[in-house]
Amino acid sequence: MEKIDISLSNLNAIFPDEFTEEQKAKAKTLFLKELSYTAHEFYGGKIMTMPKAGIYGFNWFNVWYTPGVSAVSTGIRDNNELSFDLSNRSNLVAVVSDSTRVLGDGDCTPAGGLGVMEGKAFLMKYLGGVDAVALCMNSYNDKGRHDPDKIIDFVKMAEPSFGAVNLEDISQPNCFKVLDTLREACDIPVWHDDAQGTGCVTVAGLINALKVAEKAIDKVKIVMMGAGASNTTIARLILQAGADPGNMSVFDSKGGLHTGREDIKADTAFYRKWELCEATNPAKYTAIDQAMRGADVLIALSHPGPDAVKQDWIRSMNKKAVVFCCSNPVPEIYPYAAKEAGAYIVATGRGDFPNQVNNSVGFPGILKGALLVRSKKITDEMALAAAYSIAKFAERKGIHPDRIMPSMDETELFAEEAADVAMEAIKNGVARILLTRDEVYNRTLADIKEARAVMDLLMEKNFIKKPDIRLIEDAVKKAVDAVRN
């Protein structure tokens, strides 16, 4: 089927030549937002439910439903583990959110997260061969406040229907309590992709960036801008990967995290931030520009830019500086501006710039690996195994300053990742069943290919209709007009 090309190279060519790099970057952001809105309107969302069992005559309804299905109900009643064999539970993920921190848009009301949660389900199926359901829930309590216990209870109640749970877009500090409680309370993996997923792919990118820059992780000076769910988890995983906590400093909106931050210590809900106060920033930097002098690495996941990170900060960094600016939809500094200031390697969370450090290369393979061995949880060791798997895959293909990460179109990546995660789950003693690495790899690759073949067939037969090219043309025009005006 003919493709509608909105690739990076084509996007760079469709905007006026007289636009500056900054104007083109703004136009791309506006274009993608406009096209996303109209395309979602065209399709009415992007997920539907399809049976995977056949109908070979009308009496098969009596097999799939009553009276035949009674044998399934009583079988599972007598042995709950059979729910993984007799239903789709073994390949089904709940994507759960209260929509209190949706990308860079903040609290979007419970229903406002549906676009992102459906997107997560879409990527799981296409990239990992995993089925997923978007579940946006209301976390307000009787006092009109977002209550983490509401989310915890919701997931506990839904647990019997799913093989894993992907938490998404839950604001801090609630996200910390929700994840840490559910990881222990549930007998299936509970994964917070904003935290663990972002941590996993960021560590993968950092591993390869430091290889390209010829620097050792235990020697580099690291500055982290932002102390939300993502960066606090990234910091924890980087430290587990071998970074020196004495060479790391983390900054939130009020300044540096250190043992003098009584405001953080006093609020027990922010215990993850306090752990970093105790472990990092022994110099007690209070201003980020101080910490940036002589730094080797900046990892920013704070708030959308484009000038949240200053060029002068980057100019003060060490030679061959590594700059990750991963806020969406607009990075803290545009890559061209970071390069102008002397950055050697620049990564963002966006696919329309080189070096996309994005969860999409992580969670489909990670969850697939965990599901295939029916893991009871996803440990930090499993997340690090995925990070090294991603990094090694990219390295085998060749890494350089503009390519430190694999891309979503490298299908084998997800099978490699699933296999490495599954093997780590077995090693950690959290897997219910034992498979070989080859079994996980081959099953994952087969499921991915099947998911894509089904989607290709639906597009070919026009059950998934091709959008009108005018959607793209209108989106380009609106973006160009908005930048000019």
Domain final residue pick, 163, 188, 213: 188
Residue with tokens 């970071």: 338
> Where is average pLDDT lowest: 194-208, 425-439, 468-482?
468-482
> Where is average pLDDT lowest: 210-214, 268-272, 359-363?
268-272
71 and 140, same domain (yes or no) = yes
- pLDDT confidence bin for 22, thresholds 50/70/90: confident
> Which of 402, 355, 450, 351 has its CA nearest to residue 52?
450
Which letter does DSSP use for residue 7 in this model?
Answer: -
Q: Is residue 406 part of a domain?
A: yes
Those residues whose C-beta lies under 8 Å from the C-beta of residue 2, and which sit 6 or more positions away, are: none
More confident residue, 20 or 39: 39
265 and 319, same domain (yes or no) = yes
Q: Is residue 53 part of a domain?
A: no
- pLDDT confidence bin for 61, thresholds 50/70/90: very high
Answer whether residue 29 shows pLDDT above 90: no
Q: What pLDDT is attached to residue 16?
A: 83
Average pLDDT over residues 240-259: 96
Render 293-338 in DSSP notation, one character per residue: TT-SEEEE-SS--SBSS-HHHHHTSPTT-EEEE--SSS-SB-HHHH
211 and 342, same domain (yes or no) = yes
Rounded CA gap, 446 and 368, in Å?
12
Reading across the β-sheet that carries 255-256, which strands appear in turn?
255-256, 248-252, 222-225, 297-300, 322-325, 345-347
Helices (H) and strands (E) in the chain, counts: 20, 10
Average pLDDT, the chain: 94
Percent helix, percent strand, percent coil in the chain, to nearest 5:
55, 10, 35
- Residue 90: how many CB atoms within 10 A of its CB? 18
Domain that holds residue 298: 194-435
167 and 202, same domain (yes or no) = no
Q: Is residue 219 part of a domain?
A: yes
Any bridge partners for residue 346, and if so which? Answer: 323
Domain final residue pick, 390, 418, 435: 435
CATH number of the domain to which 320 belongs: 3.40.50.720
Q: Is residue 123 part of a domain?
A: yes
**Model confidence pLDDT, tens digit, residues 91-108:** 999 999 999 999 878 899
Structure token digits, residue 338: 């970071």
155 and 242, same domain (yes or no) = no
Q: What pLDDT is attached to residue 330?
A: 86
Q: Is residue 457 part of a domain?
A: no
Structure token digits, residue 305: 């830019």
Answer whether residue 406 shows pLDDT above 90: yes
138 and 181, same domain (yes or no) = yes
296 and 360, same domain (yes or no) = yes
The dihedral built from the CA positions of residue 298, 301, 303 and 306, taken in this order, carries a sign that is positive
CB 390 within 8 A of CB 403: no
140 and 234, same domain (yes or no) = no
Structure token digits, residue 354: 């080189």
- pLDDT confidence bin for 1, thresholds 50/70/90: very low
Q: Angle, nearest 10°, between helix axes 380-397 and 363-372? A: 120
Domain final residue pick, 435, 457, 472: 435
231 and 333, same domain (yes or no) = yes
Q: What pLDDT is attached to residue 4?
A: 63
Q: Is residue 419 part of a domain?
A: yes
More confident residue, 286 or 29: 286
176 and 216, same domain (yes or no) = no
What are the phi and psi torsion angles at 255 (to 5°)? Answer: 125, -160
112 and 172, same domain (yes or no) = yes
Rounded CA gap, 106 and 300, in Å?
17
Rounded CA gap, 387 and 384, in Å?
5
Rounded CA gap, 204 and 214, in Å?
15
Those residues whose C-beta lies under 8 Å from the C-beta of residue 315, and which sit 6 or more positions away, are: 341, 342
- pLDDT confidence bin for 190, thresholds 50/70/90: very high
Answer whether residue 114 shows pLDDT above 60: yes
Helix (H) / strand (E) containing 35: helix 21-43
Instruction: Determine which one of 43, 65, 254, 466 is catalytic.
Output: 65
Q: What pLDDT is attached to residue 8?
A: 56
CB 119 within 8 A of CB 408: no
CATH number of the domain to which 135 belongs: 3.40.50.10380
Answer whether residue 342 shows pLDDT above 50: yes
Q: Is 397 a catalytic residue?
A: no
Q: Is residue 358 part of a domain?
A: yes
> Which of 275, 271, 277 has its CA nearest to residue 257?
277
Average pLDDT over residues 72-83: 97
Alpha-carbon distance values, 269 to 38, 344, 380 (Å)? 40, 38, 21
**Spacing of C-alpha 467 from chain mean position:** 27
Rounded CA gap, 318 and 214, in Å?
13
Q: Is 120 a catalytic residue?
A: yes
Instruction: Determine which one of 26, 120, 368, 376 is catalytic.
Output: 120
167 and 300, same domain (yes or no) = no
Q: Is residue 1 part of a domain?
A: no
> Which of 168, 210, 235, 404 has its CA nearest to residue 321?
210
Total domains in the chain come to 2
Answer whether residue 217 shows pLDDT above 80: yes
